[in-house]
Structure 1
Amino acid sequence: MQKRETWGSRSGFILAAVGSAIGLGNIWRFPYIVYENGGGAFLIPYFVAMLAAGIPFMILEFGLGQKFKGSAPKIFASISKRWEWLGWWQIMVAFIIDTYYVVVIAWAMNYLILSFTQGWGMNPKDFFYGDFLHLSNSPMEVGGIQWAIFAATATAWFCTFLAVFTGVKKGIERANKIFMPLLFLLVFIFIARGLMLPGAADGLNWLFKPDFSALLKGKVWADAFGQIFYSLSIGFAIMLAYSSYLPKKSDITNNACMTVFINCGFSMLSGIMIFSVLGYMALQQGVPVSDVTSSGVGLAFITLPTAINLMPMPVFFGVMFFLALVVAGLSSMISITEAVVSAIIDKLNVTRQKAAIIFCLIGFLISIMFTTGSGLLLLDIVDHFVNNFGILIGGFIEIIFIAWFCDLDALSQHINTTSELKVGGLWKTCLRYIVPVMLGFMVINNFIGDLQTNYGGYSNTAIILFGWAVLFVCSIFSMTFAHKDFAFVKKSENNHFLKRR
């Protein structure tokens, strides 16, 4: 059994946890979610979700990781061998996300280079889908490998490999001590210049003008809880792995609160950054801000390049934006990779270096299929099913298992021993009722929607092969791999955290 590493400093852990939580979704998803769900009024359910679900869940995962000192599979196996499969489900979800998330980072790397000359031309939409992706007509029509994307994908994997290979202190912590300050600096510089643009105030007005009637809609509240859940990296093994490297006397509650608040604060900054530019773009084109608003891939690689073409300092804005995307993407990818590598180390009792080589090589080979002409279409389907079912189901089962079948009193006592802010009845109420109800609602709602209509209008074959089949493979793998015993989980450890019935 290898001695478990620890973080070099509290700030190193916080920056790593924040680096995991802050990803591409904060930049290209949060602003649009706010815009379409009541503007400033959306911040009310958003903060409610943060306090009632985000912080309690984060404290829970930090507490579990710090108490059981292991990856997700080891933690659940330590509680009960019968529940080890849940850890492997979360690991498989993280593994799949890693294989396509890296390709989006590769797109951003290519666009970072293109931003020096606005190489996307005067029609960024045609360039992105045509010249850059060479997008095929169907997920089943693979097309050839796009070598610029392939090269950037290899580069992203290599950067991630170096961070994970060199360890928690020397690799992951050191990388995030560079990435996180750099990311915030880039965003602050972008905002400072962006707010000076004509029309920027109009963009922010469109974003934050409150529509309080939206608070009466259930969808708005569900979107608020969904945004909190997706953006915090909770429920799919990452925070369990990161917190397992915490020293014994770590302040769990304060660390969790700081991570959540910094992540949500960055989301707000992203909203200001994006909509100041959209306001300027709308003014230049003589259209309402609503006509230029978008989210996701379209925002990052079509709308923003279009806006950058119109700006007085296009190179400055282009470099700032796409460098921010690359940094945010890499910090999140490192955390996803570490979750999987940590599980391999625990399960096979191999060195970190060997586990990193095995995983990164396999991950890179699989990610190649997302660099082909059908890559975006494959990514779209896989991402939809993994996010809407893989992450949510894993998080839902985890919260039900820990909150209802394990000894929350013992865990809260463990957390309170080293934490300045104590958790008690309100924390347990949030975990037992609010979090599972919202996650359960989202899972059921997503399931009904996907049964009624094929996502994105894709064919039945594509949806089955790259959607439902992916989830099936996750379940088979998690059940199968859980049969092999952890050599270091003693029989006396099993069930000590389970409630006696």
Structure 2
Amino acid sequence: MAEVKREAWGGRTAFIVAAVSSAIGLGNIWRFPGVAYENGGGAFLIPYLVAFLTAGIPILYLDYALGHRYKAAPPLTFRRADRRLEPLGWWQVAVCYVIAIYYAVVIAWALAYAVYSLTLAWGDDANAFFFGDYLSAADPGFSLDFVATVFWPLLIVWVLTVVVMSLGIRRGLERVNRVTLPLLVVLFVAIVVYAITLDGAIDGVNAFFTPSWSALADPAVWIAAYGHIFFSFSIAFGIMLTYSSYLGRKADLTGSGTVVAFGNCSFEILAGIGVFATLGFLAAQQSTTVAELEGITGVGLAFVTFPTLLSQMPGGAVIGVFFFLSLVFAGFTSLLSILQVVSGAVQDKTGWSPAKAGIVVGVAATVPSILLFSTTTGINTLDVVDAFINNIGVVTSAVLTLVLVAWVARAVPRLADHLNAGATLRVGPLWKAMVMYVSPLILAAVLVTGAWTYITDGYGGFPQWFLLVAGWGLIGVVAIVSVALSFQRYRRPDAENFAPDDVEALARDVSAARERVRTEGNGRSS
């Protein structure tokens, strides 16, 4: 059969922009500040840095090496590494699919709130407006009582997503990322600069950075740091693996990965400063402290606490538009990267073109997204699905990836060679130790802790039947689908007869040649 021409990024810069755009998502803006504050404030930055160096960067490098060496989305990549590992790839695809169908909903909320900000439509009670007037939230369950204010912006988000996905890597994702990332940075820098000039802003920033040193003795703080780094980097559930598979043969994987990692963390720190500066202002207006405010993290921060302070802030309407557009841009590029994992896997399995796969995957995600999450019960379903798919599904993916790649496929040594071929930053025994021992043990602790908490304490006060359906039942479906899809035959012509580029062998030959030249030169000089 004719050789399949795989899509590719326009260059290293395009890849870095896309990877940074994927990593900087909604969690950077509303999750990191709250997690840091709740886990020791400034002291949290120490375990955060340790986790960054011992898990974030090593696993990011591993994802890059897998995708770049085997040139495929997760299922085919793991199949090429070891045929027994293909179900792990489909697990990652299923996880990404589930995340996409609810992640789009939060982007739709932000899009609606960007419009609401023009008139500060939530009035004096942002909490009642969000859960009542806007979402019309009902008790936990499943209904088809659609909410128009959610339905229409969600449909807009999905139409734009399908269009971009149908255009492929270079004409779609690459062009969008080149526009949205600069806009996101400009908008958020403007917010931060304005926020730190407000009354009480310095108190808010101090609350964010003031360390509680006793927190460092709490194992839960370290687990929280590793958990957050793992989610923040979009690692070990297919995104970075898929993105790196579109890189050219001669790619500096470790150099690019380091740029992406530091870019992501820098934005998180910037987001923390901006968020807590505004919270300091809100606390000052209410004659209280940041510690006594409610809703400092997650959905409550973005759609209740922040609108509340916008109503009291000079120029709140303008800042509101900037803030919610920042959420839209950050969320949209992350959504594209999540769906590319699914689209890439479908292309590998079926041999379809990027346009066909993008449209089919987009429509297949749009329908359940609208049916489940644009209804009066959507907020509760989203809450449970998000908790279980992230804390159980994603962390399981990470643990299995590290264990199976290292101890079943025994691929770590050759992946290290692959990373070192043409790398500006070479990996060695320390990287191997992190990937094979340290990170799996820590992430296993995160997984066991989270699962045990859900088993013994439930989650969020939701009824047990609801957790069994929307939580544990969902994880079960992901597992069944992962195994079932592994038995389907590949139609991509080069799927079964692929031989990875032996760039590491080339690098060794070049290194040996240089050594011979150096030795011969020394011999002549003596």
Scaled by the length of structure 1, what TM-score is found? 0.97
Amino acid at match of 1:184: V
Residues in 2 aligned to 1:84 and 1:143: alpha-carbon distance in whole angstroms: 36
Instruction: Give 1:143 deviation, angstroms.
Output: 5.5
Pair 1:404 & 2:410 matched: no
Q: How far apart, in 1, do the equivalents of 2:230 and 2:274 lie?
A: 22
2:115 to 113, 116, 120: 113
Instruction: Deviation per CA, 1:359-404: give whole Å up to 9, x if none.
Output: 1111110001201000000001111110111100011100111122
Give 1:255's aligned amino acid. S
Point out the more displaced range, 331-340 or 162-171.
162-171
Tell me by how many angstroms 1:189 deviates: 0.5
Q: Which amino acid aligns with 2:16?
A: I
Aligned to 1:10: 12
Residue 353 of structure 1 deviates from its aligned partner by 1.1
2:168–2:358 Cα contact (<8 Å) kept: no
Pick from 111, 132, 135: which aligns with 1:133?
135
How far apart are the structure 1 equivalents of 2:353 and 2:42? 49
Which position in structure 1 is the counterpart of 2:376?
373
Secondary structure of the residue aligned to 2:215 is helix
Q: CA RMSD in A?
A: 1.3
Alpha-carbon separation, structure 1, partners of 2:464 and 2:290:
36
Shift of 1:291: 1.8
Q: Quick check: 1:437 aligned with 2:441? A: yes
- For residue 457 of structure 1, give the secondary structure of its aligned residue in structure 2: coil
Residue 496 of structure 2 is matched in structure 1 by 490
Structure 1 residue 493 displacement after superposition: 5.8
- 1:499 matched to which residue of 2? none
Instruction: Provide the rounded CA distance (Å) in 1 between the counterparts of 2:84 and 2:416.
Output: 23
Q: CA deviation at 1:157?
A: 1.2
CA contact (8 A) 1:79 1:493 kept: no
Question: What residue identity is the alignment partner of 2:367?
Answer: L
Equivalent-residue separation in structure 2 for 1:354 and 1:481 (angstroms): 19
Q: Cα 1:25–1:233, aligned 2, differ >3 Å: closer, same or farther?
A: same
Counterpart AA for 1:420: T
Residues 102 and 157, structure 1, Cα contact 8 Å, conserved in 2: yes
How many pairs are equivalent?
A: 494
1:490 to partner: Cα distance: 2.8
1:138 CA displacement: 2.1
Give the secondary-structure state (helix, strand or coil) at the position aligned to 2:425: coil
Cα distance in structure 2, aligned partners of 1:407 and 1:466: 36
Give the Cα–Cα distance (whole angstroms) in 1 for the partners of residues 315 and 300 of structure 2. Answer: 22
Q: Distance in 2 between matches of 1:461 and 1:39?
A: 37
Cα deviation, residue 24, structure 1 = 0.6
Q: Can you give the 5+ residue segments of structure 1 that lack an aligned partner in the other structure?
A: 497-501
Structure 2 counterparts to residues 329-344 of structure 1, below 5 A: 329-344=331-346
Structure 1 residue 79: Cα displacement: 1.5
What runs of 5+ residues in structure 2 fail to find an aligned partner? 503-526
The residue identity in structure 1 corresponding to 2:439 is V
Alignment of 1:169 onto 2:170: yes
Report the 3-state secondary structure (helix = DSSP H, G, I; strand = E; otherwise coil) of the residue aligned with 2:6.
coil
1:471 alignment partner in structure 2: 475
1:40–1:211 Cα contact (<8 Å) kept: yes
1:387 alignment partner in structure 2 = 390
Contact kept in structure 2, 1:86 and 1:398, CA below 8 Å: yes
The DSSP-based 3-state class of the residue aligned with 1:120 is coil
State whether structure 2 residue 207 is matched by structure 1 residue 206.
yes
Structure 1 equivalent of residue 250 of structure 2:
249
Secondary structure class of the residue paired with 1:119: coil
Do the aligned partners of 2:280 and 2:290 also contact (CA within 8 Å) in 1?
yes
Give me the whole-angstrom Cα distance separating, in 2, the residues matched to 1:409 and 1:6.
26
Residue 459 of structure 2 is matched in structure 1 by 455
Mapped to 1, the partners of 2:36 and 2:496 lie a distance apart of: 48
Spell out, residue by residue over 1:231-290, the C-alpha distance to the aligned partner (whole angstroms, 9 max, x if none). 111111111110000001110001111111111111101001100000001001101111
Give me the whole-angstrom Cα distance separating, in 2, the residues matched to 1:200 and 1:490. Answer: 59
Rate the CA distance shift 1:492–1:289 in 2: closer, same or farther, 3 A: closer
**How far apart, CA to CA, are the structure 2 residues paired with 1:192 and 1:38?**
25
The residue that corresponds to 2:484 in the other structure is: 480
Instruction: Determine the C-alpha separation between the residues in 2 that align with 1:437 and 1:62.
Output: 21
Letter paired with 2:451? F
Give the one of 420, 425, 429 matched to 1:421: 425
Pairwise CA distance, 1:491: 6.2
Task: Spell out structure 1 runs of 4+ moving beyond 3 A.
Answer: 491-494
Match of 1:35 among 28, 37, 44: 37
Q: After superposition, where does 1:178-327 map in structure 2 within 5 Å?
A: 178-293=179-294, 294-327=296-329
Q: Deviations over 1:189-224 (max 9, x none)?
A: 111111110100000011100111111110110000
Q: Distance in 1 between matches of 2:498 and 2:54?
A: 35
Once the two structures are superposed, residues 417-464 of structure 1 have per-residue CA deviations (whole angstroms, 9 ceiling, x without a partner) of: 121110010000110111101110011111111111221121121111
SS at match of 1:455: coil
Q: Give distance in 1, aligned partners of 2:318 and 2:359.
A: 37
- Distance, in Å, in 2 between the alignment partners of 1:378 and 1:169 is 35
2:495 is paired with a residue whose SS is: coil
Counterpart-to-counterpart distance in 2, 1:100 and 1:408: 34
- Alpha-carbon distance in 1 for matches of 2:91, 2:210: 41
Q: Hey, what does 2:510 align to over in structure 1?
A: none
Looking at structure 1, the residues matched to 362 and 418 of structure 2 have their Cα atoms a distance apart, in angstroms, of 35
